[in-house]
């Protein structure tokens, strides 16, 4: 089949971009072809359909959001702007389907959270008009985000976020989302958790720890504490700074691997100041961190996220809320110890599986800090922890789980006409890790003795 992925953005290391790449990998291993529609793309240009107006940060959409978010109504002129952009995007969606002869469409979060209302409306109408089989993959619903609580587009949200159409199969990433979706809309959904290829462990020996650390300004004997998330408020990154401060060892350096900007830059500026005030060395290296599955559009070398994890000595994940938690799985995949906050989805869906973790419940305690210190100082404790966690994750969050879930959906859509997804249908092509010593990493260092914060 020809499978069309649609979202506002498929670029970088946000959860939607990463998870869609994993789904595509599973489909492509079974001979299907994947194509991409979005307002920002870092996928293979030959398989991409770039429409800049589809990006949630496009000036037309920004202008609309300024008139509808935090408002209880809207003016007729704003309605006109919404429908003008909806009409343009719907034409482009039809062109995408026609150009690549799409058999199955997978909409990633664009029918879930109203960051781009015209795109959601265009998708709902396009799906209804074409009757194309569609999987709506929901990561973050609008009721889970305070900034969408007051809006002037309640009618459009009820229509398209998400739409209730017979040719759409709905997928959510946690059990709470499934229950809330059914309660609020009457729509039933399948829970498909985030996954990783635990059937094929990463080739750790291919990476050069010292070379990467040197490239971002760390010394070979520095201890790298990794915060592998975007810099947004709900990630609770100040707790990671607090942890490093309490560990009271100048060799411990906090590295944040992802970018800021999705929700503004105020939080990252505050974090820089906070690190300075607590004499914590903070390194921001997001400028050169790319999706591990992307097809580079240029020959310019850049570090993949998979280049970062092998260098971590410990991982912090103090999120206040998560739809699932990609960074959690990535840490387990690379067999690293971590500190995790007990956010709702973790408590309900992940914790009962029996992982061996250091946990906090909204705030750091002396006992938690002591546990982290003991793990950092005990190779035996670390090895037992990460080995146990890898086995648990292999059982519940592997590609085998994804294939099983997707096969159920494909059977509902196509019956026996589409062979079920299976492992190793096509020979796999192992990706070669990038040469770390040859790559220049753009990074920023704050805190410690360098207390002059600057903007990104």
CA–CA gap between residue 7 and residue 119 (Å, rounded): 9
Contact call for residues 290 and 305 (beta carbons, < 8 A)? yes
Supply the pLDDT for residue 272: 86
123 lies in the same domain as 247 = no
Supply the pLDDT for residue 204: 59
For residue 85, tell me if it sits in a domain. yes
Which are the contacts of 250, defined by CB distance < 8 A and separation ≥ 6? 281, 448
Three-state SS at 262: strand
Interval 241-294: pLDDT, tens: 999 999 989 889 998 887 666 666 788 888 888 888 888 888 887 555 556 665
For residue 198, tell me if it sits in a domain. no
Supply the pLDDT for residue 387: 96
Which token pair is 106? 């997978």
Supply the pLDDT for residue 232: 84
Domain containing 37 equals 2-191
Supply the pLDDT for residue 152: 97
Supply the pLDDT for residue 210: 57
24 lies in the same domain as 163 = yes
Closest by Cα among 363, 355, 360 to 336:
355
Last residue of a domain, one of 130, 156, 191: 191
Interval 346-396: pLDDT, tens: 999 999 999 999 999 989 999 999 999 999 999 999 999 999 999 999 999
Last residue of a domain, one of 169, 191, 213: 191
CA–CA gap between residue 235 and residue 47 (Å, rounded): 33
CATH of the domain at 12: 3.40.50
2-6, strands of its sheet edge to edge: 48-50, 33-38, 2-6, 104-108, 134-138, 168-172, 190-191
User: For residue 57, which phi and psi values (nearest 5 degrees)?
Assistant: -95, 5
Three-state SS at 335: coil
> Which residues of the chain fall short of a pLDDT of 70?
204-212, 259-264, 286-304, 424-456
187 lies in the same domain as 233 = no
For residue 419, tell me if it sits in a domain. no
Contact call for residues 133 and 410 (beta carbons, < 8 A)? no
- The strand ranges marked E within 85-189 are 104-108, 134-138, 168-172
Three-state SS at 33: strand
């Amino acid at each position: 089949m020809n499978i069309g992925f649609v979202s506002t953005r498929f670029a970088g290391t946000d959860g939607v971009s990463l998870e869609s790449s994993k789904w595509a990998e599973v489909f492509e291993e079974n001979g299907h072809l994947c194509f991409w529609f979005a307002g920002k793309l870092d996928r293979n240009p030959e398989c991409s359909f770039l429409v800049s107006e589809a990006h949630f940060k496009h000036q037309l959409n920004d202008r609309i959001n300024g008139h509808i978010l935090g408002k209880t109504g809207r003016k007729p002129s704003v309605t006109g702007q919404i429908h003008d952009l909806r009409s343009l995007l719907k034409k482009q969606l039809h062109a995408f389907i026609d150009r690549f002869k799409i058999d199955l469409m997978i909409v990633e979060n664009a029918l879930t959270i109203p960051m781009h209302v015209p795109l959601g409306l265009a998708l709902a109408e396009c799906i209804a008009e074409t009757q194309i089989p569609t999987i709506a993959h929901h990561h973050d619903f609008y009721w889970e985000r305070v900034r969408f609580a007051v809006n002037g587009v309640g009618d459009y949200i009820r229509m398209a976020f998400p739409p209730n159409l017979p040719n759409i199969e709905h997928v959510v990433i946690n059990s709470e989302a499934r229950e809330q979706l059914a309660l609020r809309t009457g729509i039933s959904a399948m829970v498909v958790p985030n996954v990783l290829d635990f059937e094929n462990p990463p080739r750790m020996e291919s990476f050069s720890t010292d070379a990467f650390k040197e490239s971002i300004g760390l010394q070979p004997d520095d201890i790298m504490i990794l915060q592998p998330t975007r810099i947004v408020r709900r990630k609770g990154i100040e707790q990671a700074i607090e942890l490093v401060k309490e560990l009271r060892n100048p060799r411990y350096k906090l590295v944040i691997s992802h970018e800021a900007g999705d929700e503004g830059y105020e939080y990252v500026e505050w974090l820089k100041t906070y690190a300075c005030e607590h004499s914590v060395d903070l390194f921001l290296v997001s400028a050169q961190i790319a999706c591990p599955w992307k097809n580079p559009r240029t020959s310019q070398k850049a570090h993949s996220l998979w280049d970062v994890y092998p260098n971590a000595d410990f991982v912090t994940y103090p999120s206040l809320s998560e739809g699932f938690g990609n960074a959690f799985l990535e840490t387990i995949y690379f067999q690293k110890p971590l500190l995790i906050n007990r956010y709702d989805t973790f408590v309900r869906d992940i914790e009962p599986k029996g992982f061996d973790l250091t946990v906090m419940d909204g705030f750091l305690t002396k006992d938690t800090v002591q546990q982290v210190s003991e793990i950092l100082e005990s190779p035996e404790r670390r090895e037992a922890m990460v080995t146990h966690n890898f086995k648990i994750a292999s059982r519940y969050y592997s590609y085998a789980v994804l294939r099983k879930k997707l096969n159920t959906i494909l059977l509902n859509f196509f019956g026996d006409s589409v062979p079920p997804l299976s492992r190793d249908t096509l020979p796999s092509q192992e990706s070669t890790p990038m040469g770390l010593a040859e790559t220049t990493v753009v990074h920023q260092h704050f805190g410690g003795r360098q207390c002059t914060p600057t903007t990104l």
